[in-house]
Amino acid sequence: MNTMSANMPRVEIVGSFLPPEELENALNDKIRGNISEEAYHEMEDKVIDRLIDREIEAGLQIVTDGEMRRKSWARDFWEGFNGMSRERIDTGRVYQDEVVRHDLLRFNGKIEFNPAHPFFEKYSHMQELTAGRAEVRQTIPSPGELYVRILLSSNGDISKLYDTPETLLDDIIAAYRETIAEFYRLGCRHIQLDTGVWGRLSDPDFDRLLLLGGVDADKVTETLLHLINGSIADRPDDLEITLSIAADETRIPRWFDEKELTHLRLMLEEVNADAFLLPFAISSPEEITALRWLPEGKRAIIGIVDGSLPNLESVDDIVRAIRVAARYVPVSLISISPTCGFKVSDRERQGLNYETQWTKIALLRQAAEKYAEEA
């Protein structure tokens, strides 16, 4: 490895990509009944095949399927467990600020591992398409996300939704551990747990939501630690677990807030992940000093360009952020990435298009090369 490569941070992605226009058109045609489900999935396969090629061409060493097949960030995965299903509500209207949940999780038994989970087939297909040209990362929602979703949906009384609330944590951990083990058996060596909860535990609005259900945010933190560490315990040494707190496209954790920083520090110090994907505001690189709490040997993936907006950040600002990170983590363990996945919920308002995401990745690559040249 040459000196420049040794001094150059890796460029990584959060996971999701915007679909090209042809796939969106095909989806509309399927909805209208103009093409079959099979024809639509053939189009998906072609789009993902080209996506993988382009990820590799862009210099990414770890690729994803862009989450192109996923309709819901978290529910699609959870519904693959035994004991879980979705109830769709198409009538009625609730007047409130937040978008109404029209798909509600329902339980028809104990949450359990499903050997026929549809994500397994999707992962194997990704491995075939990649053909050893890059490593494949499987992204899934954190077990803590499932717990908090149940907690909030039941207003703090889990027995309203789950028949055996006293076993819920053990059931979630067992289902995740067996699912992760199956991914590993299929050849997966990179699993990313996505969570939006860690960056919200001291957000006043979120705190209020928890309190309405009689839940203490500090207690939630303890439970999240138990769920995540339990789900990834005793994993093989060559399986890298990344915890991403970049699941919310519009929210950067309040690293400057003393109370929130307490939760975030606990996450960095106590979660037994191998890597952490952490979004920061490029206008406040001093917040990256939070990496001082990252245990030795852990990888830091700093989200430093906004994956939800088309405007391009300054290469010099990105380099400055890398320099701050390098005070606390060896450059060999630093990656730079977007702050969130590219598949944002309101792409038209935010001006994103299919090419924007590749421009952002190229920008990160340019900054990484400039840092290496100057190091």
- Predicted confidence (pLDDT) per residue in 335-365, tens digit: 999 999 998 766 554 678 889 899 999 999 9
Q: Residue 132: how many CB atoms within 10 A of its CB?
A: 7
For residue 124, is it within any domain?
yes
pLDDT at 88 over 70: no
For 191, the 3-state DSSP assignment is: strand
For residue 32, is it within any domain?
no
pLDDT-derived band at 1, boundaries 50, 70, 90:
very low
Dihedral, 53, 50, 244, 12 alpha carbons, nearest 10: 30
For residue 54, is it within any domain?
no
For residue 27, is it within any domain?
no
Name the nearest CA neighbour of 44 among 35, 32, 56, 57. Answer: 35
Count of domains forming the chain? 1
Name the nearest CA neighbour of 344 among 17, 54, 101, 20. Answer: 17
pLDDT at 299: 98
How long a stretch of residues is the chain? 375
Mean pLDDT of 196-208: 79
pLDDT at 102: 44
CA dist., res. 145 & res. 76, Å (int): 13
pLDDT at 196: 86
pLDDT tens, position by position, 297-332 = 999 999 999 988 889 999 999 999 999 999 999 999
Q: What is the mean pLDDT of the chain?
A: 89
For residue 29, is it within any domain?
no
For residue 280, is it within any domain?
yes
Residue 20 DSSP one-character state: P
pLDDT-derived band at 154, boundaries 50, 70, 90:
confident
For residue 53, is it within any domain?
no
Q: How far is CA 59 from CA 20, 62, 134, 349, 356, in A?
A: 20, 9, 10, 29, 16
Domain span including residue 205: 3-22+61-374
361, 347 in Cβ contact below 8 A?
A: no
Mean pLDDT of 144-161: 90
For residue 227, is it within any domain?
yes
pLDDT at 72: 83
pLDDT tens, position by position, 93-109 = 333 333 334 456 789 99
106, 88 in Cβ contact below 8 A?
A: no
Mean pLDDT of 127-144: 95
pTM of the model: 0.92
CA dist., res. 172 & res. 286, Å (int): 37
Q: 45-54, 82-91, 249-258 — which is least confidently predicted?
A: 82-91
192, 138 in Cβ contact below 8 A?
A: yes
pLDDT at 89 over 60: no
pLDDT higher at 248 or 277: 277
pLDDT at 212: 74
For 1, the 3-state DSSP assignment is: coil
Residue 130 is part of a domain; what is its CATH number? 3.20.20.210
For residues 107-116, one letter each, b for 16 or more C-beta atoms within 10 angstroms of the residue's C-beta and e for the rest, the string is beebbebbee
CA dist., res. 184 & res. 190, Å (int): 9
pLDDT at 87: 59
Residue 286 DSSP one-character state: G
The conformational region for residue 166 under phi > 0 = left, psi -120 to 50 = alpha, else beta, is alpha
* Angle formed by the axes of helices 118-130 and 168-185, nearest 10°: 30
